[in-house]
Every structure is written in structure tokens, then in C-alpha cells.
Amino acid sequence: MPLVPPVPGVPRVPQPGVDLAGVDLAGLERLAVAVAVEAGRLIVDERPLHVSAASTKSSPTDVVTVMDTRAEELIHGRLLAARPDDGILGEEGADHRGSSGITWVVDPIDGTVNYLYEIPAYAVSVAAVSGDPRVPGAWQVLAAAVADPPRGRVFHARVGGGARLSTVDGALVSTLGVGVVGDLAGALVGTGFGYTEEKRRAQGQLLLEVLPLVRDIRRIGSAALDLCFVAAGLLDGYYEVGLNPWDLAGGWLVVTEAGGVVTGPGGGGPSDRLTVAGNPTVHAALAAIVDP
Ligand code: IPD
């Protein structure tokens, strides 16, 4: 039974009031953690000696490795075995519409270029969402996990349950809370760039607006980690134009459950047109520049 039934002809809207009664949020969070951690182990333990791009997507630099595909297959199999009525939307092509009203939005390796170069900044993001993640602004995240395999950690959250950092063996490391920096001039801000020339020109222009006004900029190379770092207070803010649902879904909930704010164009839900995150003060200051 869908949580919020679609109305023919009417686009779905964000559902802050979605009826969560009867939804096992803790169970969704546990499953997200288990699956993200298992996929994280796979991509580390079975990493080939020389990883190469198996194929490319939007441009020659937008690569898919054999491990992106293997990790997505593993995640797909585990989720469907545990919850056969749910849908799945994955970066590497998984697109299965379920009947339960819950869809798993999956990035098997977020930070693929880092993975390719063996730079230890990549993540596995697994998020259970309600609504339709294919329609910008029409979905919300219920529970999520972002595994950080190089550090053996996993960020995780569920709606109303707070955000946490745990070891991959399940021990709590810390409860997450955003930082307290109160002005943009003192803020360390993450951002990222897409893979096409056109996207990068626009991103470069926007960066010219932001860079002079902040403490500094970081380009970590994994949007999921950028968002989780905001949740942990390791970044004060983050913005990016051009993200896909799988890049942002897991980290979005981790930030909001850590007391931060994440918005998209016009202050609505984050989307490919814009994602801005931060502690409430930095978020507002950053949004005033990138979402005027
Ligand atoms: C990318 C990373 C990167 C961001 C790009 C994403 P991928 O995801 O999250 O940090 O700047 O926009 O596409 O391709 O490594 O899964």
C-alpha cells in the first residue's frame, strides 16, 4: 500500500506530513546500514589490483568501474530479498518500481573517480525514501546509511531518530551534530563538479561568487560524504548544482537529523538544479548567494 497514493495528473509534492505510522523506520535504518556496510566491504576487499573504467556515462570522465556494477548488484539483491515490494533506483541503472510506496535510492560508489585513483574518499549510499525520487521535490528520505569504507565507518539516520556515526561492526562512535560557525566568512564550504563541459562552466561561474566570501572551499569528490561531513561539523556548509537523487539522498537525511538544513531551488527540496546544506546560519547565508 503506497504511503501517499499518487493523484493522476497532479505532481507529487514534498510530504513533510507523510503518515509514518506503521512504517518500521528503525528496521529500514538497520537494513540500510547492513547493506551499505556489506557493499563497502565488497568494494574494498575485492578491489582489483588495477581498477579501470569499464564504461563511461555522461562524458569520457564520468566513469563506471566493474566494482560500481558489482556493488549495485549486491545491494539490489539484498534489498529485494529483504523487502520484495519496495522499489529501487540506482546510479548504475537499477530502476525497479515497487508497490509498497518505499523506494531505495542507491549509489554503489559515490566518489567513483576517487575510487579509481585510490584516493580514500568514497562512499556507499543507501536510502529508503517515500514518494517518487525520479520527480524533483516529490520525495522525502525515511532512513539512510552512508558507508565510508576507507575509514571503516558508517553514517546513518532515520526520520526523528537523530543521526549517528558507527563503526562498520556496529559500535556507536558518536551522535552527529552540525557545527556552530556563525558566519560565512568563517565557514569551510564543500562543493563539487559534474562531468560535462557545460555543467562545469556554470559551476565555475557560481564558484567565483562563493569563493571570495568563505573561509575556504573543499572539493572532496563524494557528495554523500560532503553532506555527512556537514552533519558531523567537519564542513560548515556545502552546495552543488547537478546532483542526482542517489548522490544526495542518504546525506540529506543525515544532515537534517544532525540539526542542519538542506534545500534546493527556492528553498524547496534538493534536486539536480541545486543542493545547499549547512548549519542553519551558514545554510541561510550560502543559500542567499547560490539560490538568490
Ligand atoms: C559524483 C560525486 C561528486 C559530485 C558529482 C557526483 P559519482 O558522484 O558525488 O562529488 O561532485 O556531482 O556525480 O559519479 O562519483 O557517483
Can you name the residues that pair with 126 across neighbouring β-strands?
106, 145
Residue from 155, 172, 175 nearest 254 by CA: 155
Strands (DSSP E) contained in the chain are: 53-56, 63-65, 87-90, 95-96, 102-110, 123-131, 139-148, 153-158, 163-167, 172-175, 188-190, 216-218, 237-240, 261-263, 275-278
Could you tell me if the CB of 214 is within 6 A of ligand 1? no
- From residue 180, give the alpha-carbon distance in Å to each of 123, 232, 233, 241: 25, 11, 8, 25
Residue from 93, 69, 88, 64 nearest 78 by CA: 88
Could you tell me if the CB of 179 is within 6 A of ligand 1? no
Pocket probe for ligand 1: among 56, 63, 68, 110, the residue whose CB has the most ligand atoms within 8 Å is: 110
The CA 203 to ligand 1 mean position distance, Å, reads 13
Closest atom, ligand 1, to C-alpha of 192 = 11
The CA 8 to ligand 1 mean position distance, Å, reads 34
Long-range contacts from 162-169, C-beta under 8 angstroms, 24+ separation = 162/257, 162/258, 163/231, 163/253, 163/254, 163/255, 163/257, 163/258, 165/232, 166/33, 168/37, 168/40, 168/41
The protein residue with its alpha carbon nearest to ligand 1, atom 16, reads: 110
* Tens digits of pLDDT across the chain (292 residues): 333 333 332 233 344 445 677 899 999 999 999 999 999 999 999 888 777 677 666 666 666 688 989 999 999 999 999 999 999 998 878 788 999 999 999 999 999 999 999 999 999 999 999 999 999 989 999 999 999 999 999 999 999 999 999 999 999 999 999 999 999 999 999 999 998 999 999 999 999 999 999 999 999 999 999 999 999 999 999 999 999 999 999 999 999 999 999 999 999 999 999 999 999 999 999 999 999 8
* Dihedral sign, Cα of residue 219, residue 127, residue 196, residue 114: positive
Strand order in the sheet with 216-218: 216-218, 188-190, 237-240, 275-278, 261-263
Could you tell me if the CB of 256 is within 6 A of ligand 1? no
The CA 79 to ligand 1 mean position distance, Å, reads 23
The CA 51 to ligand 1 mean position distance, Å, reads 18
The CA 117 to ligand 1 mean position distance, Å, reads 14
